[in-house]
Structure 1
Amino acid sequence: MARRPRRGVVALLGGLVLSLTAPSLQATAATPARAPAAEGTGMVMVLDSSGSMAGKDGSGSTRIAAARKAVGTVVDALPDGYPTGLRVYGADKPRGCDDTRLAQPVAALDRAGLKRAVARVEPKGDTPIGLSLRKAAADLPRPPGGSIGKRTILLVSDGEDTCRTPPPCKVAAQLASSGVDLHIDAIGFQVAGKARAQLECIAKAGNGQYYDAPDARSLTRQLQRAGQLSADGYRFKGKQLHGTATRSGAPTMAPGQYLDSIGPNEERYYATDLDAASTANFSATVVPQPGAAVDDLDALHTRIAYGTDGVCQSTTEMFGQQEGATPLTSGVSRVPAQSGTGVCDKAGRYRLVVERKAAKGSDAARWPMELTFHVEHPLTKGVTPAQSEPEYGAGGKDAKLPTTAPKDVTGGTGFNDARTLHQGVWRDKVLPAQTLWYKVPVGWGQQLRYDVEFANEPTVRGYGAPTSFGGTQVYTPFRAPVGSGTTEFSPQVPYSGRPASLSMGTVPVAWTNRYEGHPDVIPVHHKGDFYLAVTLGAQASRIAENPQIGVVPRIAVPGKEKSGPQAGAAVVVADTSRGDSGSSADETPGGGGGWSTGRLVAVAAGGVGVLLLAGLAVAYGRARRRPRADGGNSDPMRGGSW
């Protein structure tokens, strides 16, 4: 069968004119409204307080004074209650490789306590980075069994380790290998040469990011970015389910949501029993540390297997860039053929297989993975579904979008706390290497169409010519991505601090889309919350002067919502009482895959039956995705073949 490579090629947008400037995107100066951090989540800042931090910072102050100010700024920006602590080294005696202590325990955010703790620090001694990292890992809480948290060690140093043992890079690698939830970020404050190389090594070995801070202002900016990325990490949800390396002994999964992890170039197998008529929708989402090393062809491959060697369907999602990792989702469905005679139309044992493809030099850490499994039963006997909708039509690239004044909103950290939006214009802020998540209710017969606009931002002093990217992806209610590989939209745009814009959308929702041939049409077969993700590339941290960059999602939902998937379904009268305001992150809209609860128009549309066109020829300009009729083993993605 045809695989689905997603390269997310950067598209150059000629003649882009945006009336989008940084001042117009200033969000309210409030602490971000996030869901509470998962149990076992937290951050400990490890601050260099060695003798060199008493030196001048080039702005008339000292390095330790700049560090105190930066720590104060970051704790003010962290969400209320986020578990945060402070460890210092070199602060208690002129010499000594055991000079490291916990100045403020990791606990619910105590802004005043952290500021008092850092204010008391006076630089004195040596630089025992390796020992301090080891102690810092023990300072952090551990997540309870069966859950995935996010534990961050945030190192700030103006030099290299002066104690040599234990070697800091080796310690970082050991700590990072102890669990998928721990990573180490490093900020180099006015460092160069061996000191910078060592800090970069620590960050890479610790599955984290290195941030360069050549002056006091950039130290504050980079510390704030690193701290907020930690606090705004993906909120996982699900039951633990440990997949096997082969089909033998694969755990059985019922419909629901699960958590596992996956290593580079590893496969994970899961088993389930399906009937002969229902559609089964699977998704796998991997969540690397933001900005972790990836290649543009690094991929997440999902397939549904049947029997010994049969493959019902297969999908591959690629990062499509080399700046740094972001969440990556692959969705795959088993859709019984209308004839009911296909190899995968039988009742029996099927297997979901998830494979992570990684190039040499890419992040070697295990990545946490979230799995979903939904079953759609056939329509009630005698119900004729409406005709399929394989074209973008009114929701194409030239669609009219709202032009109202933007309203402030805070995006979620992932699928589970995505912020509900409705038709309108919204305003948010995004960090380099961050992905913001939203969801929009879309009914039968409707489609999602939106633009994402990235702000005009002041650039850092000494800014050369690096280019980052802005990106977006749209997902169905069952988390299948449907925004790449279309001839209508592009998922990425170059970003260099100047205004940039992306357009994205879906075809209209129709039950019979599942029988179409294009991979961006097939999954759009059920109403519910459609998710949209907005990403800023990691390299933007070298471009923008402000810690965050303004972003405007401009959302439309074209089409009249129908009361159901059947032909001739009544039109739902829109509820305009709530206006365009977005709901809270945990609100469940009237979508969610059920029937609409809205008031119906008394007279339904004409009773038009579904017209099934055999051999419909649609020029999609890319490989189609369709169920395999044979049980062969010809998937070219297998065995490392690209």
Structure 2
Amino acid sequence: MRRRTTRWRPARMWRGSSPAHARAAAVVALLCATAALPVGPALAAGTPTPYTFAPDARPVSGGASTADAGPLTPGVTYKSSLPGAGETHYRVELDGTSDAYVSVTAVPASGSAIHAGDGIKVSLRDAEGRSCSQDTETFGVVRSPRPIAVWGMREISAGRPHCDEAGAYDVIVERVTTAESVPDTWDLELFAATEPPREQAGGTSAPETWDSASPDPLTGDGERREGGPGFASAVPVGEGNWTSVIEPGRTLFYKVPLDWGRQLHATAELGAADGGDGYAVGALNLALYNPVRGFVDDASASYNGREKAAELDPLPPVVYENRYAGPDRLGAMRFAGSYYLVVHLSAAVAERYGDGPFELTLRVRESGEAKSGPGYAGESVPGDVFQLSAGDREAAAADGAGSGAGGIESAAMTVLAVSGIGAGTLVLVVLGVWTVVARRRGGAL
């Protein structure tokens, strides 16, 4: 498992068609419209795309000091870069009442040399340079280039009154490494969010007890749903078995809508190889991030060609008061919203078992009674980050309308974001998939 250190506390529808068909039709129309557009160079065969950034990500340059820090606005996603050495500074303006979170996703290039102690550190400080939080993530045993995310926070807390003031805060990102030199530059995706205070004061201690027993695993065949290549393109899943394929070096993103009071259990299973031999240490990694892309926990499994599974340890139900818990993985389960399951297969697997693809099954279970939220005195930024809609739940449901059309929409948008695939071919692919979905649901195009 990854080693981490933390120091922070206190369309218009066709007649007779379903909404799913209407959404799919809109996607096909969009793809057809793009058929005449120029297409970028194709990706090299066997080279997985390390990460797809949010299509609306704005470029921002970090500074070498607070004087030239790059500006960040809550609710906006940014793309930047991180050099091999030195601090990179960003600036975020905050009010004096809301908790704030800044997530930084680091993306090493495919083929980068990764050591167990390599990673990134994110610090958040007030205008006087006093610390509000500091968090570090390293690759640990899974020494394969992949996206990792680290979060910083500004909490309104009596323990750190200097972090309660309105004004500019300094977000500092830097590399950590055990290597003598780090010549390469990593891409970054930055995302900030704010959480308003509660309408009424509540408890200030974490729940003392919760059900830590692992439920019986789900069995049976899974429903096909391919993961997305980034946080913004994460594919929705709910309770059930979800199957996909994964190639060595690739990372897949899924999102699970989780209400207040609900508890998440997740396992990733890698299928057996057709040939090859040897032992790949830390081959399969399953990580969980919360709605603001804050790291919660992860699990990894080594691979010897036989079926292997990585299972997350039991996690508490989602309650506001978890933020007062000591262990970080408990404190991160503090909001309702979409939680992210991120699956990575080490590039080292290809050396012993070929390029694949390998069968992947993601087993998701939820337990606990859904409850009402804490009651916020204001709006979060972005406005829907700690909320779930009926559409979120529909898209995540097995064998539901969202399962078919939602998957097509996500896949289509993902492919449009990645150069190298002809638009005409893409239209044919989507039309074929749409037809299969329609037949499964008993509809007709």
Q: Which amino acid aligns with 1:286?
A: A
SS in 2 for 1:375: strand
Unpaired runs of 5+ residues, structure 2, are 7-23, 377-388, 411-445
Give the C-alpha shift of residue 525 in structure 1: 1.4
State the structure with bigger RCO (CA 8 A, min sep 6), 1 or 2: 2
Distance in 1, Cα, partners of 2:93 & 2:60: 16
SS in 2 for 1:248: helix
Distance in 2, Cα, partners of 1:313 & 1:476: 17
The 1:553–1:397 alpha-carbon spacing in structure 2 relative to 1, beyond 3 Å, is: farther
Deviation readout 1:343-396 (Å, 9 max, x if unpaired) = 32233321111112234377632111000100111112x3646974476x43x4
Q: Which amino acid aligns with 2:63?
A: T
Q: Which amino acid aligns with 1:555?
A: V
Distance in 1, Cα, partners of 2:181 & 2:346: 17
Q: How does 1:498-577 map to 2 (within 5 A)?
A: 498-504=306-312, 506-545=315-354, 547-565=356-374
Q: How does 1:265-284 map to 2 (within 5 A)?
A: 265-284=85-104
Residue in 2 aligned with 1:174?
none
Task: Note if contact 1:418-1:585 (Cα within 8 Å) is conserved in structure 2.
Answer: no
**Which of the numbers 249, 254, 266 marks the counterpart of 1:433?**
249
Distance in 2, Cα, partners of 1:312 & 1:532: 27
Distance in 1, Cα, partners of 2:355 & 2:261: 42
Distance in 2, Cα, partners of 1:521 & 1:245: 34
**Which of the numbers 358, 366, 372 marks the counterpart of 2:177?**
358
Residue in 2 aligned with 1:618?
none
Q: How does 1:466-505 map to 2 (within 5 A)?
A: 466-467=280-281, 469-484=283-298, 491-504=299-312
The 1:343–1:240 alpha-carbon spacing in structure 2 relative to 1, beyond 3 Å, is: same
Residue in 2 aligned with 1:584?
407
Structure 2 residue 226 is the aligned partner of structure 1 residue 410: yes
Distance in 2, Cα, partners of 1:272 & 1:560: 37
The 1:423–1:389 alpha-carbon spacing in structure 2 relative to 1, beyond 3 Å, is: farther
Q: Which amino acid aligns with 1:478?
A: V
Structure 1 length-normalised TM: 0.52
Distance in 2, Cα, partners of 1:327 & 1:341: 31
Q: Which amino acid aligns with 2:294?
A: A
Residue in 1 aligned with 2:380?
none
Deviation readout 1:125-182 (Å, 9 max, x if unpaired) = xxxxxxxxxxxxxxx66xxxxxxxxx85x4xxxxxxxxxxxxxxxxxxxxxxxxxxxx
Deviation readout 1:29-63 (Å, 9 max, x if unpaired) = xxxx9xx9xxxxxxxxxxxxxxxxxxxxxxxxxxx
Residue in 2 aligned with 1:239?
58
Q: May I ask how many residue pairs the two structures share in their alignment?
A: 364
Unpaired runs of 5+ residues, structure 1, are 7-32, 37-78, 84-105, 109-139, 142-150, 155-222, 485-490, 588-642
Task: Note if contact 1:454-1:500 (Cα within 8 Å) is conserved in structure 2.
Answer: yes
Distance in 1, Cα, partners of 2:408 & 2:231: 10
Deviation readout 1:558-607 (Å, 9 max, x if unpaired) = 1111132259xxxx9998998524443767xxxxxxxxxxxxxxxxxxxx
**Which of the numbers 115, 120, 126 marks the counterpart of 1:306?**
126
Give the C-alpha shift of residue 293 in structure 1: 0.7
Give the C-alpha shift of residue 553 in structure 1: 0.6
**Greater strand share, structure number:** 2
Structure 2 length-normalised TM: 0.73
Give the C-alpha shift of residue 473 in structure 1: 0.5
Task: Note if contact 1:482-1:506 (Cα within 8 Å) is conserved in structure 2.
Answer: no
Structure 2 residue 167 is the aligned partner of structure 1 residue 348: yes
Task: Note if contact 1:386-1:566 (Cα within 8 Å) is conserved in structure 2.
Answer: no
Give the C-alpha shift of residue 82 in structure 1: 12
SS in 1 for 2:349: helix
Which moves more between the two structures, 290-299 or 360-369?
360-369
Query: Between Structure 1 and Structure 2, whose CA radius of gyration is higher?
Result: 1
Residue in 2 aligned with 1:136?
none
The 1:418–1:383 alpha-carbon spacing in structure 2 relative to 1, beyond 3 Å, is: same
Give the C-alpha shift of residue 235 in structure 1: 3.4
Q: How does 1:26-175 map to 2 (within 5 A)?
A: 108=39, 152=43, 154=44
Distance in 2, Cα, partners of 1:493 & 1:457: 15
Give the C-alpha shift of residue 273 in structure 1: 2.5
Distance in 2, Cα, partners of 1:464 & 1:378: 53
How large is the Cα RMSD of the aligned pairs?
3.5
Deviation readout 1:93-139 (Å, 9 max, x if unpaired) = xxxxxxxxxxxxx964xxxxxxxxxxxxxxxxxxxxxxxxxxxxxxx
Q: Which amino acid aligns with 2:110?
A: P
SS in 1 for 2:67: coil
Q: Which amino acid aligns with 2:60?
A: L
Distance in 2, Cα, partners of 1:566 & 1:531: 24
Q: How does 1:306-455 map to 2 (within 5 A)?
A: 306-321=126-141, 323-337=143-157, 339=158, 342-360=161-179, 364-380=183-199, 382=200, 384=202, 388-389=206-207, 393-394=210-211, 396=212, 398-455=214-271
